[in-house]
Amino acid sequence: MTEKKNYGFTTTILHNDRQKGIEHGSLHKPVHTSVAFGYADARQLASVFQGKEPGFRYGRQGNPTVSALEDKVNKMEQGVATLCFATGMGAIGAVFQALLRAGDHVVSSSFLFGNTNSLWQTVAGQGVAVDFVDATEVANVAAAIKPNTRIVFVETIANPRTQVADLKRIGELCQERGILYIVDNTMTTPYLFQPKAVGAGLVVNALTKSIGGHGNALGGSLTDTGAYDWTRFANIFENYKKAAPAQWGITQIRAKGLRDFGASLGPEAAHHIAVGAETLALRMERTCANAMALAELLESDERVAAVYYPGLKSHPQHGISSELFRSHGSLLSFELKDGIDCFDFLNRLKLAIPASNLGDTRTLIIPVAHTIFFEMGAERRASMGIAESLIRVSVGIEDTDDLLEDFSCALEGC
């Protein structure tokens, strides 16, 4: 198969492994379980170790199956290089491990995935100052920036309240100030949005979610989009400045983040995720349409106090979401009116499953304050706009009518 430049999203992912020629004509990149890679010529081993020629050294730093997935994610994000990690948190943790030093400052959106929020608290205890701001307004980010600000970190659509960051203007601000802009694209996926388009230098994807898509493997990735000029980054070690500046960031993250931190993706998980990724676009079309229909149903129901979904005209960032994203995502959240017990409501649902994952093919539903945001306490929850009765729905690919009926029925109390 010869490579053509302009294949569509799904065609590119489906046929990507074959571009490099797969062993035995296999159609999937095989699961290579070997930890070590042997070389007949010891000089070649040395030259692979010294980065003078390509090749695998040891499973923690890379593996052919993982590398094939990295190549696919890189194509989806149109990046210059992508690294995979054992989990999404592994990818985010590696960024901070590899790129931050005591005395640095980070500006982060306050509307964050719960464990990322917790990780920031850890980092703060290690001498890195973190300021949380309402990133739906670029002015808040601008006001928080200091001379030692190294990173601005935001999510596209925040989980669970669905606030949409002022992505484009924050990108312009970071570009102007020479600050590394990191966007967690998990909620939108590269099918709905490529953060490179708004100047993100690094893109995070929790592959566990929609990209893998079936809730059967954990994984995460970091993509260097090529948009950031690494010569403006204060924390690159001299040792990693030997190649062209475009390579500095990813080289340091590979060594300090992946190799030393060790949250490496296993080949079996990489295989599951790669198979799931083949249908990302198809699944997103369906889950986004289902989410829109469910959001409309909930919004029109008098027993529902509030619905948060960027596809609704009532959503404060509906305009930005419509402008930047192909569609508004598969996650929504809502609050029931006082007097309706959210646990009783959840127990009446027959299809939607009480569970904490998202981006699965099945619809999953969770009472946020009592589970994933429990540990942080009521005060921090309130500052993040998380009501005690908030229910998050990760909408799956069920037939739309079945899904709507399940929710109507549970609302009516049947």
CB 68 within 8 A of CB 29: yes
Please give the structure tokens belonging to residue 407: 């929710």
Residue 257 per-residue DSSP state: I
| Closer of 56 and 96 to ligand PLP (Cβ) | 96
By CB under 6 A, name the one of 77, 131, 155, 166 that touches ligand PLP: 155
Greatest C-alpha distance within the chain: 74
Cβ-based neighbour number of residue 261 at 10 Å: 20
368 binds ligand PLP (CB under 6 A): no
| Closer of 113 and 334 to ligand PLP (Cβ) | 113
74 binds ligand PLP (CB under 6 A): no
Stretch that binds ligand PLP, among 83-91, 98-106, 129-137, 195-203 (CB under 6 A): 83-91
By CB under 6 A, name the one of 183, 206, 352, 390 that touches ligand PLP: 206
Q: Which residue is nearest to ligand PLP (CB)?
A: 88
By CB under 6 A, name the one of 66, 81, 183, 218 that touches ligand PLP: 218
| 3-class SS of residue 114 | helix
Task: Give the C-alpha distances (Å, rounded to integers) separating 288 from 73, 299, 327, 414.
Answer: 21, 16, 7, 27
Give least dist CB 263 to ligand PLP, A. 9
Which strand (E) or helix (H) includes residue 392? Answer: strand 390-394
| Closer of 162 and 186 to ligand PLP (Cβ) | 186
The answer, yes or no, to whether the previous bond of 354 is cis (omega within 30 of 0) is: no
Stretch that binds ligand PLP, among 40-48, 144-152, 206-214, 287-295 (CB under 6 A): 206-214
Q: Which residues contact 56 (CB under 8 A, 6 or more apart)?
A: 37, 48, 62, 63, 64, 67
174 binds ligand PLP (CB under 6 A): no
Size of the site for ligand PLP (CB under 6 A): 15
Stretch that binds ligand PLP, among 33-41, 60-68, 146-154, 181-189 (CB under 6 A): 181-189
CA-nearest of 361, 352, 338 to 393 is 352
Stretch that binds ligand PLP, among 146-154, 202-210, 256-264, 298-306 (CB under 6 A): 202-210
| Closer of 209 and 286 to ligand PLP (Cβ) | 209
Q: Which of residues 109-128 bind ligand PLP (CB under 6 A)?
A: 113, 116
Q: Which x/- pattern, by CB under 6 A, does the window 240-279 give for ligand PLP? A: ----------------------------------------
208 binds ligand PLP (CB under 6 A): yes
87 binds ligand PLP (CB under 6 A): yes
| Closer of 88 and 311 to ligand PLP (Cβ) | 88
Cβ-based neighbour number of residue 186 at 10 Å: 26
Q: Which residues contact 30 (CB under 8 A, 6 or more apart)?
A: 22, 23, 64, 65
159 binds ligand PLP (CB under 6 A): yes
By CB under 6 A, name the one of 110, 186, 210, 317 that touches ligand PLP: 186
220 binds ligand PLP (CB under 6 A): yes
- What are the φ/ψ torsions at residue 244 (nearest 5 degrees)? -60, 145
149 binds ligand PLP (CB under 6 A): no
Q: Which residues contact 95 (CB under 8 A, 6 or more apart)?
A: 151, 182, 202, 204, 222, 253, 257
* Rounded distance between C-alpha atoms, residue 159 and residue 331, angstroms: 8
Q: Which residues contact 51 (CB under 8 A, 6 or more apart)?
A: none
Stretch that binds ligand PLP, among 10-18, 184-192, 312-320, 367-375 (CB under 6 A): 184-192
* Rounded distance between C-alpha atoms, residue 71 and residue 68, angstroms: 5
Rg (CA), the chain: 22
287 binds ligand PLP (CB under 6 A): no
Q: Which residues contact 176 (CB under 8 A, 6 or more apart)?
A: none
209 binds ligand PLP (CB under 6 A): yes
| Closer of 99 and 410 to ligand PLP (Cβ) | 99
Binding region for ligand PLP (CB under 6 A):
87-89, 113, 116, 155, 159, 184, 186-187, 206, 208-209, 218, 220
